[in-house]
Amino acid sequence: MVGTTVWVRAGPALLVGADTACYARVAREAAERPLSAIAEQTLGGEPFLEHPPLALTAEGIWFRTFGASPGTVRSFGRCIATLLALVTFLVALAMAGLRAASFSLLALPLLSGFDFESQITMLELPLTFGLAIAALGTVLLVRRPAAGTLLFSFGFVAAALTKGPPALAAFAILAWATWRLRLRRRVVLAAVAVALACLALALCAYEAARRAEGLVPFLPTYLSVQVLPSIVEGRGQQDRSLLFFFSPLVSWYLAGLLALAPAAWVWSRRTTSLETRRLIELGFVVVAVIVFGQMLPAKKAPWYVHPAMLGFAWIIGGTASVLRPSRAESWLASAAIGLAALWTLGVGRTWSIAQPRLREELVVLHRLPGPDFPPGVPRDVANCAKFGDWAAENTVAFLWRARAVPCTSKAPFVFDGHALAPAMATAAGK
């Protein structure tokens, strides 16, 4: 079911999402440089230091292998989503057994945030994948400390080198496990020490590679230009409201929100097995850490809540596992099939029937052949469609290797959302 939801979708591959096209440009530019310049990140030829390099470098390697296109952008996200589903299953399996693990896996298609993120390539899904690996390592610390330490360290480092500060959620999971799973102190300290040491070594190696290429240091620039302003100032997006994430949670994770009350009731029952209660607890911890943790910085965006999908999957999985088998399987399977069918038809938050004109224009933009610019003519396209400037700039640059300019600008070509035409032909038609 999860594989079908991720890999079988109606409609063309589209660069949907606020930054999907931007990150695809960064990855393509990396793929077009020699492997010796792997430490360099650029956007439009200019240094791009807004995010750590791991996910963007991995996407660049993916492009180097399979080519850069909307289809390969989507397939990269699908592969990460598939691996994330596997790790989500393994965590629940290690904590509460096969039944809870199966329901946790089946819960993912119920979460439209997972369905949406599995078709795009932003940074939230790779971040979530890293946190899931860290959670698996944390669970394994109980019986297999060496393997657990390695997995926790790998997951934390992967998350940190993908999105930076949100990777600290891994330590919140570890703190909960130390308390509730009664981990040995020396095992926990060893896991923390190894994780921090691995991150330090990875950053030192990356900075050494940048220095060898004559590039500016990454970490000081990233902290001063991206992290600190985002935490303190918000960079024009400041919002301290406690209700900021209410709408995204309802839109993307309604099934998880509806499961909170039944999960709390199941958790409170003495007849519920300890293993199931711990899985539900872990789900609550992940949701709380992600939602409340993302409220702290001044800069916020709706998609920042996506790592909470892990917690919602375990909450639903643990809760459903205590129901009678005949009722549980039929109810959850029917719901998963129905929602998966809706998403296959393209019903979603930001690329759905709720915004038909924007979706239609995006489909047209992807299907049109690129403009044929005469030699010496600026590669500019006047964007008269309804896209935002940021989305238009990066989508046009990735698809056509051109520059999107405002509709009123003088440009050789004009895109009005329905057709691409030479500017002179457009003016004559008017």
Q: Is the separation of the CB atoms in 342 and 109 below 8 Å?
A: no
pLDDT on residue 352: 42
Q: Are residues 271 and 418 in the same domain?
A: no
The reply to whether 181 falls in a domain is yes
Q: Which of residues 297, 324, 344 is at a domain's end?
A: 344
- Based on the domain organization, do 251 and 400 belong to the same domain? no
Of the three residues 315, 344, 373, the one that is the final residue of a domain is 344
- Give pLDDT, residue 338: 65
Is 264 a domain residue? yes
422 and 315 fall within a common domain: no
Query: Both 76 and 129 in a single domain?
Result: yes
Q: Is residue 251 part of a domain?
A: yes
Domain match, 133 and 196 both:
yes
Residue-number span of the structural domain to which 280 is assigned = 2-344
Q: Give the chain's domain count.
A: 2
Position 351 in a domain = no
What is the model's pLDDT at position 9? 76
Bridge partners of 382, per DSSP, are 405, 414
DSSP H or E segment with residue 383: strand 380-383
Last residue of a domain, one of 318, 344, 370: 344
Are 161 and 42 in a shared domain?
A: yes
Letter for the amino acid at 117?
E
Q: What separation in angstroms does the CA of 266 have from each of 89, 277, 324, 325?
A: 20, 8, 13, 16
Same domain, 222 and 328: yes
* Residue 230, pLDDT score: 84
What is the residue-level pLDDT of the chain in tens, covering all 430 positions? 788 888 887 778 889 888 999 999 999 999 999 998 999 999 999 999 999 999 999 999 999 999 999 999 999 999 999 999 999 999 999 999 999 999 999 999 889 899 889 999 999 999 999 999 999 999 999 999 999 999 999 999 999 999 999 999 999 999 999 999 999 999 999 999 999 999 999 999 999 999 999 999 999 999 998 998 888 875 555 556 668 888 899 989 998 999 999 999 999 998 999 999 999 999 999 999 999 998 888 888 899 999 999 999 999 999 999 987 765 556 666 666 566 555 544 444 444 434 445 578 888 899 999 899 989 899 999 999 887 788 889 999 999 999 999 998 999 999 998 899 997 654 444 4
Same domain, 111 and 258: yes
Task: Say if residue 286 is in the same domain as residue 397.
Answer: no
Q: How far apart are CA 93 and CA 80, in angstroms?
A: 20
- Interacting residues of 39 by C-beta distance below 8 A, sequence separation 6+: 53, 206, 209, 210, 212, 213, 215
Spatial CA neighbour of 351 closest among 369, 363, 339: 363
Q: Is the domain of 184 the same as that of 298? A: yes
Rounded Cα distance between 185 and 194, Å, is 14
What is the distance between the alpha carbons of residues 415 and 70, in angstroms, rounded to a whole number? 19
Asked, for residue 108, whether it belongs to a domain, the answer is: yes
Q: Is residue 349 part of a domain?
A: no
What are the DSSP calls for 62-91, one per residue?
Answer: HHHHH-SSHHHHHHHHHHHHHHHHHHHHHH
Pair 298, 402 in one domain? no
Same domain, 303 and 383: no
Strand-strand pairing, 413-415 and 420-422: antiparallel
Is 350 within a domain? Answer: no
396: in domain: yes
